Structure 1
Amino acid sequence: MLAEALDIEEDPSWTSARTAQRIANRLDLFWEPEYVDRTSVTLPGFNALLQAVSYAHAERALRRVVARSAPGLHGPEWAAFNPARSKIEAVTRIAALTGAPREWLGPGSKEHKSVLLNLATNLFPNDARIDVTSKHRLGASLAQVLNAPWSNDFTATGQTIKLTGLNAILAGAERRLGRLGEVVTDAITTPEAEGDALAAALLASLPVHWDARKAVRWLADNGLRGSNDLEWQGFYGEEKAKAILNASFTPKVPGTKRSYGSTDFDYALSWVWDIKVHTSLQTVGALTKRANDAMLLNDEQAVRNCVEEQGLGFLVVSGEAIMDHTGEFKVWHDAWKLTRSKRPPAPSNSGISKTRKTAFTPLHVDAYWVPDTLSLRAAILSGQLAPRPQGRQAPKTPGGVGSPRPPKFEMNTAKASHGIRVASHSWPTPRRGA
């Protein structure tokens, strides 16, 4: 599909390596020999393509590819249907068709029965053909009344409806309402609604417990930044969240601008969002205490420019950090970095090593939205946001002086939760060690 989005005519005989090289040529990406292993593309190759495609998407150099048909939805009558690529996209679009309350997924990414009940109530009030005695029967009867395909393969044990089943109901409802061919951005029409849907997607799919060693190795194995950083959880959470959002929602084409100066904000559907991980609780041994409400955001000027042009949102995953009070993780992390780089870590400006985190458990995910410059000024005056000067970078050599850093915005999460916050979703209970 990527080749199709770049107007590259694929030959069925091409290997994945050859297709990738053609894509790289179209994207003006130099294709290194290490990007290929025989006929396959290596992980560094995929990462290089991903970065190049991200830039192309931001520059609106891709075209929308006609959606592949969903299972059971074959033939000309369904040709215009754009299947949801995830359950969260499906339930979001189904709810929006009738203006029903926003939906989210329960544990195990399970859809709520309410998404089907609300659709049935709004489209077929008091219709005896709708069987509400179970979620499976409700889905099957809805599909029948909508004259949409249905199969036992569309359901699973535990009263679950698969994505294929949700897509069948979505297609039938869109056709009945004369809206066949809509996409997720037609359903999510405000930044507040988008923030809620994105937060719900992260709630459904983020790992419930982040182990420091596993996260550090995962970042390194995937060629991502942050494996050497003290605040590994920020990099890990950001990368996991971006992957989830990219997999959950069909992107808007052409893409929304995300780059301002040297700052690339993390994600955009119709509006731009940056992803942050915030420690709201700290556990040191047997003691758990509330952490600082302040959280660093992004480069001050980039934030101001984006807000002025189109508004800017923040998706914040807050949780409990288990602190490395014994120093065991620090010993492991320093040795691991030395093995990889063959040189000792750079010294800090203060000469004091911060206590690291051995694990992180997400507790809630919140969406914050700043629509324009006037709102940004109001948030600053109310103490929700504030520009903060930054200390120098760590020196590259002992006794040296680190490079200066431009100021960043800081958010007071306690104050912002009563101001610019537009959505919030919480995990049911703390799940340490899950």
Structure 2
Amino acid sequence: MSQRFIPSASKLEAVARISNLTRSGPETLGPGSKERKSVLVNLSRGLSLAVDESLSKPELGEAIAREIGATWDRSCWSAGSTITLVGLDRLLEAAERHGSIAAVGVSSHATYSSPRAEAEALMNVLVPLVRGEWDGRTCVNQMREAEFTHWAQDKWAGWYFEFIALPELINRLGGGPRKVVNTTFDYVLRSTWDLKAHSESGGAAEAILNDQEAVRRAIDEGGLGFIVLSGRRVDDGGEFRAWQRRQRLAAGKKPKPRRRAAGDETTEPRQAPSSPTFVPTRIEIFHIGDENAFNHALQTRALKQYKQGRQSSGEKRKPKYKLNFSTARESLLLTSVTLDHVAPIGTKNGPTLCRLEYLTTNGWAVGHAGIALLHPARYVERLTARGKFARCTELNPDLSEGRVHVSPNLPADFSILVPDPPYRIPRVGKTRPA
């Protein structure tokens, strides 16, 4: 059974998904968040359509729509020869049903041997994308210009992460969104993945996930992973929240009345923080591969039940799950990268992305799947001076392994000392660093 069409959340996502259909190369938006004509030209060529490519964008869009059976009307384009999100999505939906596409479906650009290999590919795309300080006004304006569905949300940082990440993943790796039950997950390759953002400023060590039924179904159908971007929220005295309200009113969005608790007519409804700045600090990728892993996550409280409050209309919401970071990092974490003060991967005279492991009685155990270090060898020496045996593997820009640094006086292949675990770990005394 073919999957129902999933509308794009923005024009940026729409052009990425259209180009992925015909493998015509990455697509972005031009100045003013306008789609480039190459999106339509490449779609026409990819579907082998007999249309006149010299037509204006609205006319070319209409010609393609006529060829592939899509509805085309005044809502599909606007002034300045701009195709709207409605128009792009109508072409995308019809193109996905087109014979040459439907026969093979929408696929990824590569195959992956394991969820960990897939997670490393995802991380390689996302790390350069999210670095730096995010200015709320700039980000909201960028989302609004691209007709992003969620541009007006109070908690803008999480939506901005989805806005920039999903199109880039599609451009670089293929894939796209997936609907399970009635929940749309952001991305699917071999496994299904969902993008989450977490503010470290609130002190909570948990992230709210998705509908419980959809989570269990996705796990049963190939595994489910969560890509969590954590960061520091910078709040002000309410000025940014007031600016957001003015933007919504200017766009014709009227505020919905908030529901108070029964009998409570005095307490003001809770307001979202006024946060003009978000500073990404870390990306972590978690994965639940099958029912056994899911049950273990519930038993260890890495996953917890989460009952949502009622909607603003008073209707009940379906229960979700929560991810407990401290426990999930022990059993569900595939890879993580710390982003604070990290220069682009592979640049000279900047930090090096490394995998850090510690020696245990069962062998090498990963402490950090991705950590940026200025001096990997010195870092290992300092750990040894504190009484720990460590191994640090430098990672190249493509995440392949580079140089390896091991604690002094310990062979790189320490298992030659004792062939089978549990290993006998040589004692190392703490010393004062030079």
Shorter-chain TM-score range: 0.5 to 0.7
Residue of structure 2 in register with 1:270 after alignment: 190
**Identity across aligned pairs (percent)?**
26
Deviation string, structure 1 residues 223-268 (Cα, Å, up to 9, x no partner): 112222221111111111112212222x26xx7x821122111112
Equivalent position of 2:15 in the other structure: none
Determine the structure 2 residue equivalent to 1:366.
284
Matched, 1:294 2:222: no
**Whose strand fraction is larger, Structure 1's or Structure 2's?**
2
Q: What is the CA distance between 1:211 and its match in structure 2?
A: 1.5
Opposite residue 336 of structure 1, the aligned amino acid is Q
How far residue 376 of structure 1 moved from its aligned partner, in angstroms, is 0.9
CA distance in structure 2 between the partners assigned to 1:50 and 1:12 by the alignment: 16
Give ranges in structure 2 of 5+ residues lacking alignment: 1-41, 262-268, 344-434
- In the alignment, structure 1 residue 309 sits paired with structure 2 residue 234: no
Distance, in Å, in 2 between the alignment partners of 1:189 and 1:291 is 37
Confirm or deny: 8 A CA contact 2:197 2:229 kept in the other structure.
yes
Question: Partner residue of 2:419?
Answer: none
| Residue 33 (structure 1) aligns with | 74
Rounded Cα–Cα distance in structure 1 between residues aligned with 2:259 and 2:186: 27
CA separation of 1:9 and 1:410: change in aligned 2, threshold 3 A: farther
Moved over 6 A (4+): none
2:258 to 333, 347, 356: 347
Structure 2: distance between partners of 1:303 and 1:334: 34
Equivalent in 337, 350, 369 of residue 425 of structure 1? 337
Indicate the residue corresponding to 1:119 in structure 2: none
AA in 1 matched with 2:270: I
CA deviation map 1:125-169 (0-9, x unaligned):
xxxxxxxxxxxxxxxxxxxxxxxxxxxxxxxxxxxxxxxxxxxxx
For the Cα contact (< 8 Å) 1:20–1:41, is it kept in 2?
Answer: no
1:191–1:344 Cα change, 3 Å: closer
Cα distance change of structure 1 residues 291 and 32 upon mapping to structure 2, 3 Å threshold: farther
> Hey, what does 2:376 align to over in structure 1?
none
Contact 2:210 / 2:320 at 8 angstroms: preserved in 1?
yes
Contact 2:77 2:83 in 1 (8 A): yes
Check conservation: 2:154, 2:244, Cα contact below 8 A.
no
Is the Cα–Cα contact under 8 Å of residues 392 and 403 in structure 1 kept in the other structure? yes
Q: State TM-score, norm by structure 2.
A: 0.60
Partner Cα distance (1:404, 1:420) in 2: 30
What secondary structure does 2:143 align onto? Answer: helix
> Following the alignment from structure 1 to structure 2, what is the Cα–Cα distance between the partners of residues 20 and 391?
44
CA shift at 1:13, angstroms? 4.0
> Structure 1-normalised TM-score?
0.60
Among 219, 222, 232, the alignment partner of 2:146 is 222
1:50-129 equivalence runs, <5 A: 52=93, 61=102, 63=104
Matched, 1:394 2:312: yes
Q: CA deviation at 1:204?
A: 1.3
- After superposition, residues 243-258 of structure 1 pair within 5 angstroms as 243-249=167-173, 251=174, 258=178
Pair 1:408 & 2:326 matched: no
Q: Distance in 2 between matches of 1:54 and 1:419?
A: 41
Task: Classify 1:393/1:28 alpha carbon distance in 2 versus 1 (closer, same or farther; 3 Å).
Answer: farther
Amino acid at match of 1:16: K
Paired residue for 1:48, among 89, 98, 106?
89
In the aligned structure 1, how far is the partner of 2:188 from the partner of 2:212?
19
- Bigger relative contact order, structure 1 or 2 (CA pairs below 8 A, ≥6 apart): 1
* 1:370-385 → structure 2 map (5 Å cutoff): 370-385=288-303
Partner of 1:338: 249
Question: Is 1:209 matched with 2:170?
Answer: no
Give the paired residue count: 293
C-alpha distance in structure 2 between counterparts of 1:26 and 1:316, whole Å: 41
Aligned-partner Cα distance in 2 for 1:47–1:339: 25
Q: Distance in 2 between matches of 1:409 and 1:55?
A: 32
* Alignment correspondent of 2:407: none
The secondary structure found in structure 2 opposite 1:266 is: strand
Measured after TM superposition, the shift of residue 38 of structure 1 is 7.5
2:110 paired with 1:185: yes
Q: Secondary structure at the match of 1:310?
A: coil
| Whole-angstrom distance in 1 between the partners of 2:209 and 2:169 | 20
